[in-house]
Structure 1
Amino acid sequence: MPNSRWLKAAGVAAAITLATATAAHAAPAPDPAATENASAVVTLRYDDSRAGGWEAAIAAGVASWNANVDNVELVEAAPGTPAEIQIVATSGWPQATLGPVRPGGQARVELGSQAVTEGHDKTRIAAHELGHSLGLPDTKPGPCAQLMSGSSAGTSCTNAVPDAAEQARVESAYAGGFASRTPADGRVLVDAP
């Protein structure tokens, strides 16, 4: 029968060999630069407490941006919490501050009922105006496939999804964690035909 000390020593040696082999075959450590860029998601809060009647359209517009842009996330601000984007309902034409808005910054979106009265889609309006806050100007005239073509696409257009170029432009503006390379424009863009 083998010596118990020998069995213990052999077991420890086997465990060390197994741990060393496992560590040698483990996945390489992540590149810190890649991790930093992958986790550089900018969270922008919006306050729609003064946008009665637009709740579903705002939620759908926010969901569209969140599903199509990787480095920006729009979230509803908790009551009493500051928000970068103030969304209000008005009786005029929709309008918004041209961003890109930064965390801690201020942008205003006015969801005007005049456009709805004329027959334009509420969700497209909400997504389009949020696009201004994210730094996208109008592309008028333009096709329905371009979200930022706004009212020039006609009342039959209900597309609320940014196209690939619009997505890329927003992601570029917020690359590296915040809109540092592209200063906020600050103009108010009115989306009347």
Structure 2
Amino acid sequence: MRLPKLSRVLAALAATTMAAFGAVAVEATPASAAVRNVCYNTSQAGPFASYANQAASIWNNATANINMAQCGSNLMIYYTYGGGSYAQRTSLGNGRVVIDYYQAQQYSPLRIMTHEIGHILGLPDNYNGNCAILMSGGSAGTSCTNPYPSSGEAAAVDRNFSSFARTAATSGVFADSWPAPAAVGAAR
């Protein structure tokens, strides 16, 4: 059963507020539902914390089997200056995302964040250059700002989270989704 969007947004807001006070909200679901909590942490995300929150909301609204909230550190969000944006998945729904500050000045930071979280949720890169496909990453070019997964990508995440039997085969580092940024002045 899929919750209406407003209910999911309110639940995420309540979880965020409770997390600020040290409490963890876990949404009650029927035993037949396959909703899994993906707890993320933006304490090291710097200027990209709001993008992580927006990306979590996008994934919550696009899927039925996950609930992303700031309720722990299964998924850590970081940023760096140079070296490229990437995701390192340790198991399904767990790992870290690193956003390259310089790349985020050339490409849509929200698209980068949502794409990299897609890797944590079990999606591979798809270098077809199609802006409508979130996992096409930087191959869609700098003018592509679409941060939304296609219905096929959302369905794949739902399938991934309907069973955790595949977690051992879904770890890895996903780098080079975004072309290297143009030459920048001296590194900080």
TM tier relative to shorter chain? 0.7 to 0.9
Aligned equivalents of 1:137, 1:99: Cα separation in 2: 14
Residue 73 of structure 2 corresponds to 83
Contact persistence 2:87–2:173 (CA under 8 A): yes
Question: For 2:147, what is the secondary structure of its paired residue?
Answer: coil
Alignment CA distance shift 1:43-1:173 (3 Å): same
Q: CA deviation at 1:59?
A: 1.4
Alignment CA distance shift 1:44-1:184 (3 Å): farther
Q: Please, what TM-score do these two structures have when normalized by structure 2?
A: 0.73
Aligned equivalents of 2:68, 2:130: Cα separation in 1: 26
- 2:154 is aligned with 1:167: yes
Alignment CA distance shift 1:192-1:158 (3 Å): closer
Which protein is bigger by CA-based radius of gyration? Answer: 1
Alignment CA distance shift 1:158-1:99 (3 Å): farther
Aligned equivalents of 1:143, 1:66: Cα separation in 2: 23
Q: Please, what TM-score do these two structures have when normalized by structure 1?
A: 0.71
Alignment CA distance shift 1:188-1:181 (3 Å): closer
Equivalence map 1:26-45=2 (5 Å) = 35-37=30-32, 39-45=33-39
- 2:109 is aligned with 1:122: yes
Alignment CA distance shift 1:188-1:61 (3 Å): same
Q: CA RMSD in A?
A: 1.7
Contact persistence 2:38–2:66 (CA under 8 A): yes
Aligned equivalents of 1:107, 1:98: Cα separation in 2: 4
Question: For 2:31, what is the secondary structure of its paired residue?
Answer: helix
1:63 to 44, 57, 66: 57
Equivalence map 1:138-153=2 (5 Å) = 138-153=125-140
Aligned equivalents of 1:157, 1:100: Cα separation in 2: 29
1:113 to 101, 107, 131: 101
Q: CA deviation at 1:36?
A: 3.0
Q: CA deviation at 1:97?
A: 1.7
Residue 168 of structure 2 corresponds to 183
Aligned equivalents of 1:153, 1:73: Cα separation in 2: 28
Q: CA deviation at 1:57?
A: 1.2
Ranges of 4+ aligned residues in structure 1 off by more than 6 Å: none
Q: CA deviation at 1:40?
A: 2.2
Q: Give the letter for the 2:103 counterpart.
A: A
Residue 92 of structure 2 corresponds to 101
Contact persistence 1:124–1:158 (CA under 8 A): yes
